[in-house]
């Protein structure tokens, strides 16, 4: 046989073998069923394949490309709502799941060819055992007086088990497997984050943990939301670390390798800043995103937030594009913000059916005379989609500059000013420079008082 042909065939076989990945199932109690494999990705669960099982309950899922993440996956059987089995799926493993019982769970299931699952199951069981032993030891110690000999034996046993637990923790921390990362997250939830709210010391521990998280690994752990949410106690107004969340998020983003994880972490962090109104932190995150230039095509709310970030205090406000939808073939007029002919201009973006908008508008009506005396011109832009709704509300305003293109929140001015919600207000100086971005009537009054 030609040696070159044999060698070439061997190389071809090896290349195919290295690139292929397969998950084999041997579930004898589920013949002719369909198994569904779902992977955990952050807060999502993505179906990655359906496996038809033959008359012996056997089947395989052959991946066209290796899975980009190592993480938890879930096995279910169609029509068997009670059945749910979690395991680790790694692109470096071709594992086989074997179960000869109807109920598939850890105690009656074998996983072959998987160091990830072997280690995770062993470490998890040992950690649980050691903690139970320590807990039981502490409870027994309460039943004995200080001078009783058995108390000394309990203390000796406690120290022995604590050494075993520490040895296990050291092994986990040194592991390069996803199983090691998973166990670190699990132990952190139980020890570093469980009582984060108690003191400055516990907050410091949690902050240090948050800034060192491997988010690529956390993404597939099913603890994505739980870990991130638990760490938020570190950054509340009552904490020493209030105002540092944005900087910590930016630092974490630098170390995330996977693009999807990068984008989902941004989404999670921005949601946190919106929930708690941490505007300074949001600015820090958005500033990093813009400079990092790794997020090429932001969409949805994030796109608007990035655009809004560009409309910061000190920047030139976009010109207003005015179209009268009530006139056929109406032309668009450019209302230059540098030529509004007033000392100050208050741009109000609102919707007629918005409760918070009504509160602001009522306040502007009540204080309208004082507002005018301060040299402030009010210009309102409605995000309405019904002509009569807009006309009815605008007819009650004491100011004359009211506009609406009947395109709702998709109107050009809403887009140019990146309005995420109503009411939103901008105060401009006589040259069209943004002086302030406001959302309440009290903020308007504070601005007026500040300007004397």
Pairwise CA distance, residues 413 & 383, whole Å: 9
Tens-place pLDDT, residues 84-96: 999 999 999 999 9
> How far is Cα 71 from Cα 132, in angstroms, rounded to an integer?
27
Q: What is the pLDDT of residues 104-119, one digit of tens each?
A: 988 999 999 999 999 9
Task: Compute the mean pLDDT over every residue in the chain, rounded to the nearest whole number.
Answer: 90
pLDDT of residue 12 exceeding 60: no
Q: Stretch 234-257: mean pLDDT, rounded? A: 95
What is the rounded CA–CA span in Å between residue 357 and residue 380?
Answer: 11
Q: What is the pLDDT of residue 452?
A: 58
Residues facing 348 on adjacent strands: 380, 425
* pLDDT value at residue 1: 41
Q: HSE (CB half, 13 Å, CA atoms) of 272?
A: 27
pTM of the model: 0.73
Q: How many CB atoms lie within 10 A of CB 207?
A: 21
Q: Is the pLDDT of residue 140 over 60?
A: yes
Q: Mapping DSSP to helix (H, G, I), strand (E, B) and coil, where does residue 187 land? A: helix
Q: How large is the greatest C-alpha to C-alpha distance in the chain, in angstroms?
A: 101
Tokens of 149: 């000999």
Give the fold, CATH level 3, of 320-450: Glutaredoxin (3.40.30)
pLDDT band (50, 70, 90) for residue 17: very low
pLDDT, tens only, 354-392: 999 999 999 999 999 999 999 999 999 999 999 999 999
Start-to-end CA span in the chain (Å): 98
Q: If DSSP codes are grouped into helix, strand and coil, which group holds residue 44? A: strand
Residue 55 has pLDDT above 60, yes or no: yes
CATH 3.40.50.1820 assigned to domain 21-113? The reply is no
Distance between CA 191 and CA 305 in Å, rounded? 36
CA distance 171 to 343: 68
Strand pairing category for 21-27 and 96-99: parallel
Q: What mean pLDDT comes out for the span 161-186?
A: 97
For residue 4, the model assigns a pLDDT of 42
**Residue 31: which of 61, 60, 52 has the closest Cα?**
52
- Angle subtended by helix axes 200-210 and 224-231, to nearest 10: 140
d(CA 256, CA 69): 13
pLDDT-based confidence at residue 439 (cuts at 50, 70, 90): confident
Q: What's residue 67's pLDDT?
A: 67
Confidence label for 66 from pLDDT (cuts 50, 70 and 90): low
- Over range 250-256, report the average pLDDT: 97
- Banded model confidence at residue 254, pLDDT cuts 50, 70, 90: very high
Task: Give me the mean pLDDT over the 336-343 stretch.
Answer: 94
Q: Which two three-digit tokens encode residue 289?
A: 């995103």
User: In the chain, where are the structural domains located?
Assistant: 21-113, 117-179, 197-309, 320-450
- Asked whether residue 450 carries a pLDDT value surpassing 90, the answer given is no
| Residue the block writes with tokens 């209302």 | 335
pLDDT tens, 302-324? 888 888 777 888 889 999 999 88
Q: What is the 3-state secondary structure (H, E, C) of 63-80?
A: ECCCCCCCEEEEEEECCE
* Residue 46 in this model has a pLDDT that exceeds 60: yes
Does residue 253 surpass a pLDDT of 50? Answer: yes
Distance CA 423, CA 357 (A): 5
Joined together, the tokens standing for residue 49 give 């394949």
Predicted confidence band of residue 19 (pLDDT cuts 50, 70, 90):
low
């Amino acid at each position: 046989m030609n040696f070159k042909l044999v060698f070439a065939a061997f190389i071809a076989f090896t290349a195919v073998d290295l690139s292929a990945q397969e998950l084999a199932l041997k579930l004898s109690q589920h013949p002719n069923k369909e198994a569904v494999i779902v992977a955990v990705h952050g807060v999502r669960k993505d179906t990655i394949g359906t496996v038809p099982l033959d008359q012996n309950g056997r089947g395989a899922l052959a991946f066209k490309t290796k899975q980009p993440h190592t993480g938890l996956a879930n096995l279910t059987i169609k029509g068997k709502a009670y059945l749910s089995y979690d395991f680790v799926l790694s692109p470096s493993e071709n594992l086989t799941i074997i179960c000869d019982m109807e109920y598939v769970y850890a105690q009656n299931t074998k996983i072959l060819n998987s160091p990830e699952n072997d280690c995770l199951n062993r470490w998890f069981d040992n950690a649980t055992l050691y903690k139970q032993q320590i807990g039981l030891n502490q409870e027994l110690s309460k039943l004995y007086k200080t001078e009783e000999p058995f108390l000394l034996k309990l203390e000796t046993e406690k120290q022995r088990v604590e050494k075993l637990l520490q040895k296990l923790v050291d092994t986990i921390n040194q592991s390069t497997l996803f199983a090691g990362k998973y166990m670190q997250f699990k132990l952190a939830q139980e020890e570093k984050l469980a009582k984060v709210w108690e003191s400055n010391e516990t907050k410091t521990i949690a902050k240090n943990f948050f800034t060192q998280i491997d988010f690529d690994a956390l993404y597939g752990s099913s603890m994505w939301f739980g870990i991130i949410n638990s760490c938020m106690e570190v950054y509340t107004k009552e904490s020493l670390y209030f105002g540092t969340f944005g900087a910590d998020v930016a630092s974490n983003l630098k170390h995330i390798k996977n693009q999807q994880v990068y984008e989902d972490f941004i989404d999670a962090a921005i949601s946190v800043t919106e929930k708690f109104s941490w505007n300074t932190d949001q600015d820090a995150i958005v500033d990093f995103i813009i400079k990092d230039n790794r997020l090429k095509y932001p969409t949805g709310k994030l796109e608007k937030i990035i655009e809004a970030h560009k409309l910061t205090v000190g920047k030139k406000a976009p010109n207003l594009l005015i179209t009268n939808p009530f006139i056929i073939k109406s032309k668009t007029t450019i209302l230059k913000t540098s030529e509004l002919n007033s000392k100050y201009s208050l741009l109000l973006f609102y919707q007629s059916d918005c409760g918070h908008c009504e509160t602001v508008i009522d306040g502007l009506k009540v204080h309208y005379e004082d507002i005018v005396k301060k040299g402030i011109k009010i210009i309102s832009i409605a995000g309405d989609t019904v002509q009569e709704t807009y006309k009815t509300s605008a007819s009650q305003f004491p100011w004359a500059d009211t506009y609406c293109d009947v395109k709702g929140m998709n109107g050009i001015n809403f887009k140019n000013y990146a309005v995420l919600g109503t009411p939103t207000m901008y105060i401009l100086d006589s040259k069209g420079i943004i002086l302030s971005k406001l959302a309440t009537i009290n903020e308007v009054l504070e601005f007026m008082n500040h300007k004397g």
